[in-house]
Amino acid sequence: MDLSFSAEYEKFREEVKAFLAANWTKEDAAAAPPVDERATLGGAVRTDSRANELRRKAIERGYLYRHVPKRYGGSERPPDPLAQTIIAEEFRKVQAPHEVIGQGPSMLVPTLIEHGTEEQKQKFVLPTILGELRWCQGYSEPGAGSDLASLRTRGVREGDDWVINGQKIWTSDAQHADWMFCLVRTEPEAPKHEGISYILIDMKTPGIDVRPLRQMTGTADFNEVFLENVRVPYSNLVGKRGQGWIVSRSTLKHERALIGSSSMTRRVFDGVLMLAQSTQLRGRPAIQDPIIRNRLVELEAKLRASEYHGFRQLTMSARGEEPGMAGLVSKLYSTQLGYDIGKLAMDVVGDRGALAAGEPEAPFGGMLVSAYMWSLGVLIAGGTANVQRNIIAERGLGLPRDPAASRR
């Protein structure tokens, strides 16, 4: 075990600072365009030309997209959590744009790197990691949620094209996306997991109708997507025909998203901590309330556990070890923690939590409730907590598979 910020890392920190000092001014940071609505749950992400100019230089220096090969636009460096922590910290300090957050960079890019054709990688990876191409994920359907492999959107080959018919739902950001990576049933006779293909669809293709769905927070961040005789080139297939299920699972092997999620949780927690220090609750700062204080430390311990768990997973991956149980629990652990943190934020503001955005006395402009509700959203997104529990029990503990789940 070696976690030291050795002299080597301190030198590295100075390098990153010098790079930012030379390439990113206070004016650059202040010149943020209006909040980018395309940003997903990760919050605002700048993708204007000034931001991407810096991003490109940072990639050249090896600071960003270390998991993406150089020939596709990344910086191709071995995982190094300490270096990545330093980079993230220094970028945050000067409000410099870091990696683009979203389903394109976090899900599509690793999938393409593993399964895409050379042409697909050349065409899509760089614009995606620069945020110039925005993606949505066409997985869930009205009848295929937890049982995703029962999806029914059909793809039929006609000459050099796929013709796709069906409906997707809960599609985050479909209204802003340029492209969709989509799971489509192409082999109706095959067992359900073996009849699916992973196909890229240009959202400007005729026959696509995106209708917003309003979620419990009151805003509409996801959609229904109707596909009627949508015709896309056959070459938009990623991986082999009928192997879309395996292709889509490959993302699970990439730990990057996990690391991202714990740094996101850290940001939310730090926000709640500041809130507890600055909010008066029953006549004193909330953080002096013994119960709030106790729960803050309890969650701090879990958050640290989750962060160090990320270190451990990166080490396992660098050593070529199978992640096993360590990988299976990450999502469930971090989403439960996210909910607990959101709940604590509500308790910190006490009865003022009743007030909604628009009410002058609402703490944080009423945004806390939205964050609290979103912590439930992520408990569901990408496989509900109960599905995660099945996976942990079956793959991690070797308990029997649910017989109904493996039926055709």
Cα–Cα nearest to 106, from 20, 41, 184: 41
* 202/72 Cα distance (integer angstroms): 20
Per-position b or e across 282-313, b if 16+ CB within 10 A of its CB: eeeebbebeebeebbeebeebbeebbebbbeb
Choice between 3 and 18, CB closer to other proteins: 3
Smallest gap from residue 71 Cβ to other proteins (A): 26
Strand residue runs (E) in 214-309: 222-233, 237-238, 280-281, 284-285
Question: How many CB atoms are located within 10 Å of the residue 266 CB?
Answer: 17
Choice between 225 and 378, CB closer to other proteins: 378
Choice between 199 and 314, CB closer to other proteins: 314
Choice between 192 and 309, CB closer to other proteins: 309
Smallest gap from residue 344 Cβ to other proteins (A): 14
Choice between 115 and 302, CB closer to other proteins: 302
Q: Please say whether the beta carbons of 298 and 347 come within 8 A.
A: no
Give CA separation, 48 vs 33, 56, 100, 130, in Å.
7, 12, 12, 10
Query: Could you give the 3-state DSSP secondary structure of residue 207?
Result: coil
Indicate which residue of 10, 187, 255, 322 is catalytic: 255
Smallest gap from residue 4 Cβ to other proteins (A): 6
Residues of the shown chain interacting with other proteins in the complex, contacts defined by CB under 8 A: 1-4, 80-83, 273, 277, 287, 290, 293-294, 296-298, 300-302, 304-306, 308-309, 311-312, 314-316, 318-319, 325-326, 329, 332-333, 336, 386, 388-390, 392-394, 396-400, 402-403
Cα–Cα nearest to 84, from 67, 105, 63, 53: 63
Smallest gap from residue 59 Cβ to other proteins (A): 21
Smallest gap from residue 109 Cβ to other proteins (A): 24
Choice between 186 and 375, CB closer to other proteins: 375
Specify whether 255 is catalytic.
Answer: yes
* 225/203 Cα distance (integer angstroms): 10
| Phi–psi pair at 22, nearest 5 degrees | -80, -25
Give bridge partners of residue 185 from the DSSP assignment: 154, 196
Q: Please say whether the beta carbons of 157 and 199 come within 8 A.
A: no
Smallest gap from residue 335 Cβ to other proteins (A): 10
> Hey, which residues are catalytic here?
255
